[in-house]
Amino acid sequence: MNLKKTFDNSCRVVCAFHGVSIVINGIYRFTTIDFDLNRQNDYYENLMLGFSCAYFIYDNLVHLLIKKTKIPTVYLHHVVCALIYLSAYPHFRAFGALTGMFSGEVSNFFMHARKVLENEDLKYTLAYEICEVLYIVMYVAFRSIMTPIMIVLTVIAPNMPFLVPLGGCFVVY
C-alpha cells in the first residue's frame, strides 16, 4: 500500500475514534442525564465539547495542510462545528450541541471503516458491504429523524445560543 493510503487510514482512525467516543458519550448521556435544556453544563459535557472542538480543528488542518482538499464546504463544515461547540462551551446547553454531535457521528465509524477497507483493496468483501449498509441506514435514520427533533428542541429552548440550532441545520444536512 502506498504512503498516501497509509496516511489516510491513520487520519480515519483518529476520526473514527472521535465518532465512537461521541456515540458512547451520547448513549451514556441519554440514559443518565436530565433532559432540561436550561441547566448548566457539567464538567463531562464541557470536556466533550472541548474534545470535539479540538478534533474539528485537527481535521480542518489535516484537510488544509496535508490532504489539500479542494472542496470548500469541508472547511466550512469544520469551522461551523467548532463554532457551535465553542458557543455552547462557556454557557448552558451543551446537551443540544452534544445531541447534534451524536446524530451526526453515529454513522461515522462505518463510513471510515468502509474507506479503510477500500484503501486495503477489500472493497468487494462482505465486511465492506456490511459497513456500507450500516453507514447508509444509520446516516439516513439519525439525520432524518433524530436531528429535526433536536433542532426543534433547541429552537424552543430559552436562552439557547442561536448558533446551536442554526448550526444543527447546516452541519447535519
pLDDT in tens, the chain (173 residues): 587 788 888 888 998 999 898 888 888 877 876 666 667 777 888 888 888 888 889 988 888 887 788 888 888 888 888 887 787 776 656 766 777 778 888 888 999 999 999 999 999 999 999 999 999 999 888 888 877 877 787 777 776 766 666 666 665 55
Chain centre distance of CA 158: 25
| Residues 2, 100: Cα–Cα separation, whole Å | 36
pLDDT given for residue 121 in this prediction? 93
Kindly report the number of other CB atoms within 10 A of residue 48's CB atom. Answer: 22
Distance of CA 147 to the CA centre of its chain: 12
Backbone angles phi, psi at 157, to 5 degrees: -70, 135
Distance CA 123, CA 115 (A): 8
CA 113/CA 133 separation, integer angstroms: 12
The span from the CA of 157 to the CA of 155, in Å, is 6
H-state helical runs in the chain: 3-32, 43-61, 72-88, 94-105, 108-119, 126-141, 147-156, 163-172
* Residue 132 burial (CB count, 10 A): 17
